[in-house]
Amino acid sequence: MSLTSALQQIAVNPIQVLAGGTDYFPALGESAVPDYLLDLTKVSELRGIRITDDGITIGATTTWTDIINAELPDFFKGLKEAAREVGSVQIQNAGTIAGNLCNASPAADGVPPLLALNASIEIASVDGFRRVPLSEFILGPRSTTLAANELVIAIHIPGLSSDARSGFYKLGSRRYLVISIVMASVTLLANDAGELCDVRIAVGACSAVAKRMTELEEVLTGQSIQSDIESLVKPEFFKELAPISDVRASAPYRTNAAYEVVIRLLRSTLAALPQHGISTGTRTWVGSAS
């Protein structure tokens, strides 16, 4: 099926959309299956990862396993780590990246790493295309800006220096098949002077929608990677998160754990940054934008 055909179908019928099914069927529970579903996994052009002239585009129905197996720049490490933490192998084989975003769970594993990659969402309808930053796409739990006649067709990630590094951490009460208590992702880039020039820190499961820790990012930007970065990370930066208390953890625990997790992620990601001043080496850029 072509994308055009799919868009035409949802333009005339309020038909439900199915992709990996990993959120759709659990939500359906024991209710009767509908007679019709629009199966986006049949739209072949929606699956796959390609490098474009302004970054990297991940098709909407690209599965988590596709992402794990794809050859991607080092700064996709955080997204790959998140992909490995989505449910189980079974879920990773079926679940899609756009499905994870459209489901809009506060604990969606894909959101923090994609926020830390400055991802934007490519949306199509019979009326045309639009692109929305991920931070504006998810409005709240189970709520997005997607209109009934629209489909997410891809996730776009702008180009970034191949010197950038990223990481992801998911904290849960058991090893596999677990919903996060807290998760975080960071992307870091240092300039030739060894100063952090691009700092992105996202925390999930601690607010209605995962969010970037912009104040902390600003404080860290410009700091030398040789300096004591960790000491600049204060618990106060995490007060804006306003997590809930639920069966998985209390709200104060979440705030505290977010702080701890971000420190650890910064530590490991800083350690992974290329060591400037020792060897300059060559630099390649992914995409044309910097």
Partner 1 sequence: MSLSNDEPTVAAAPSVNTSKASPSSSFTLNGKPITFQGGATQRLSVALREKLNSRDVKVGCNAGDCGACTVLIEGEPVCACLTAVGQVQGKVVDTLAGLKENDDVMKLLLRSFLVHGAAQCGICTPGMLVSALHLLRQTPYPTEQQVMDSLGGVLCRCTGYRKIIEAVVNATNLAEDTKSQEERHSVNSVGESFQRIDGIAKVDGSDEFGDDVCPPDALVLRLVRSPFHKAVFRFGDLNAFLERHPGIERVLSAADIPGANLFGVIPPFIDQPVFAENTARFKGEAVAAVVGEASAMASLNLSDFPIEWVEESALLDPLLALQSEDNRVHDNADKNILCHGLVQKGDVAQGLKDAHLKVRGSFSTGFIEHAYIEPEAGYANRVGETLEVFGCTQAPFMDRDSLASIMNLEPDNVRIVPTSTGGGFGSKLDISFQPFVALAAWLLKKPVRVTYSRTESMQSTTKRHPSKMDVEIAVDGEGRLTAYSFEGVFNTGAYASWGPTVANRVPVHASGPYYMPNYRAYTTGVYTHSAPAGAFRGFGVPQAAIAQESLFDELAYSLNMDRLEFRRLNALDNHQPTVTGQTFESAVGIRQCLDSLVEPWREALNDAEEFNREAQASGSALRRGVGVASGWYGCGNTSLANPSTIKAGITPEGRVILHQGAVDIGQGSNTVIAQIFSDALGVPLNQVDIESADTSITPDAGKTSASRQTFVSGNAAKLSGMALRKLLAQRAGCDSIHSLTIDAHLCTVRPVDGDAITINLSDMQINNQGYVLMAEESYDPPTKPLDENGQGIPYALYGYAAQLVTLDVDTALGLVKLGRFTAAHDVGKAINPQLVEGQIHGGIAQGIGLALMEEFIPGRTDNLHDYLIPTIGDVPPIDTVIVEVADPHGPFGAKGLGEHVLIPTAPAILNAIRHASGAVVRDLPATPDKVLAAIQQSKEIN
Sites of contact with partner 1 (CB under 8 A): 1, 5-6, 8-9, 12-13, 15, 18, 20-22, 24-26, 29-39, 41-43, 65, 87-91, 93-94, 171, 173-179, 181, 247-250, 253-254, 256-257, 260-261
User: Of 18 and 219, which has the nearer Cβ to partner 1?
Assistant: 18
Q: How far is the CB of 154 from partner 1 (least distance, A)?
A: 18
Burial class of residue 22, CB neighbours in 10 A (0-12, 13-18, 19+): buried
Least distance from C-beta 40 to partner 1, angstroms?
9
- CA count, 13 A, side-chain hemisphere, 145: 14
In terms of CB distance, is 25 or 285 closer to partner 1? 25
**List of residues 6+ apart from 206 with CB closer than 8 A:** 182, 238, 241, 242, 243, 254, 255, 258
Closest to partner 1 by CB, 123 or 181: 181
Q: Which is nearer to partner 1, 118 or 185 (CB)?
A: 185
Min dist CB 228 to partner 1, Å, is 13
Query: Minimum Å distance from CB 264 to partner 1?
Result: 8
Q: 87 is written with which tokens?
A: 């449910």
Determine the Cα–Cα distance for residues 65 and 240; give it in Å rounded to an integer: 34
Whether the CA torsion 271, 159, 131, 43 is positive or negative: it is negative
